[in-house]
Amino acid sequence: MPPPPPSALIRVIRGQSSAVLTRGDALAALTDEPGQITRWFHFPAMQRANALIGGWMREAGLEVREDAAFNLIGRYPSANPRAKTFVLGSHLDTVRNAGKYDGPLGVLAGLACTERLAAEGVKLPFHLEVVGFSDEEGLRYQTTYLGSRAMAGTLRAADLARVEEKGIEGARRARQDFLGYAELHIEQGPVLEAERLPTAAVTAIAGQSRIRVEFTGRAGHAGTTPMKLRQDALCAAAPVISAAESCGALATVGQLEVKPGASNVIPAEVVLSLDVRHPLDAARLDACARLKAVAESAADRRRVKLRWQVVQQTKSVACDPALTALMREAVGRHQPRALELPSGAGHDAAAFSALCPVAMLFVRCKGGLSHHPDESVKRGDVAVALEVLRDFILALKRRHDPS
């Protein structure tokens, strides 16, 4: 019979899921907007979050640094300094008035997994890094995956022009250094809850387009300008908002700005955001074209000017079949059956796929609710996910070091 594990290791195993949730609570207290959870790229709350999690990483024995894009990196080194690197990551920024788990759960779970491997004395044939990306949601600059794209080296000149920080390109890493990437994330959907399962392997990430649409008309007195003579920018925008529901993709108008914004003045300018997503890129682009045609027709009919600006486009990403198979096998060992799901949400895994093969693991969330203060996960589901993630890393170890 093998000797019992040391008491320190027993505490790590028993308390992991509780520790992840407790750390999530502590992280949720770090916000740039009191009374709600909001963390902007490189604002004070993000800086405090990096410092807090960096401290936990050091306690776990990891080598900790922050790169030029303010991504937090904790490294569990292999005995072979020339080994490639496998990354467990997600993001630490949030949407405005966010929940606790979209992004941070993946970082904290990656840390917990690595912490346990270190406590068990597991030696890996690859370096294992836990990365907390600085910007995935795009709240500050309206361009997503800033942190992960900086590391992948895929930022465009237009992206860099929006960013006030200098030297962010210094975060770029070399493709040949990486073995792969895996991201644990809440599902942000209702399927796992309906299937009564705690986790699922992810097969693909939907492509998305973010578009800024501006209508510029002419202000006028609400009581004296005849309806037929108006150049109402808001009336021109209305058909686009309505058409988003039937364009053939998941399309959302999430922001709407009306100027001058007075109840007795005809709107002269309207700016709206469009978020369009689909697992098939051709279908997504077709939906965008349909919406643009609606906007052009409405602008022409109302005699207003239209500016259609594609802020960002990301292609759909298929998760790596080999890594996904390992994840699915790990899932099957810890729940009644293995399930695979596509993701309609965007993730840092999509950006990181430019560097290396990627995989994802979904964790059930209450009601499928996300981007909302009521985001919720069960401690038991987190415990299952941590076991799946550990088994996945150990399977990867066996594949690259059979001895």
Report phi then psi at 276, rounded to 5: -120, 130
This prediction's pTM: 0.80
Sign, Cα dihedral of 28, 34, 37, 43:
negative
State the chain's mean pLDDT as an integer: 93
What's the pLDDT score for residue 314? 82
What's the pLDDT score for residue 163? 72
Q: What is the pLDDT of residues 332-349, one digit of tens each?
A: 999 999 999 999 888 999
Give percent of the chain above pLDDT 70: 95
What's the pLDDT score for residue 4? 47
Q: Among 12-21, 27-36, 236-245, which stretch is predicted with the lowest mean pLDDT? A: 12-21
Q: What is the pLDDT of residues 349-388, one digit of tens each?
A: 999 999 999 999 999 999 999 999 999 999 999 999 999 9
Q: What is the pLDDT of residues 93-119, one digit of tens each?
A: 999 999 999 999 999 999 999 999 999
Could you tell me the two tokens for 120? 């068990």
Q: What is the pLDDT of residues 117-160, one digit of tens each?
A: 999 999 999 999 999 999 999 888 877 899 999 999 998 877 77
d(CA 38, CA 28): 9
Residues 332-371: b if buried by 16+ CB within 10 A, e if exposed: eebbeebbebebbbbbbbbbbbebbbbbbbbbbbeeebbb
Asked whether the predicted pLDDT for residue 165 surpasses 70, the reply is: no
What's the pLDDT score for residue 312? 85
d(CA 367, CA 120): 36
Over residues 214-240, the mean pLDDT reads 97
Would you place residue 1 in the very low, low, confident or very high pLDDT band (cuts 50, 70, 90)? Answer: very low
What's the pLDDT score for residue 167? 75
What's the pLDDT score for residue 159? 74
Asked whether the predicted pLDDT for residue 393 surpasses 70, the reply is: yes
d(CA 1, CA 153): 50
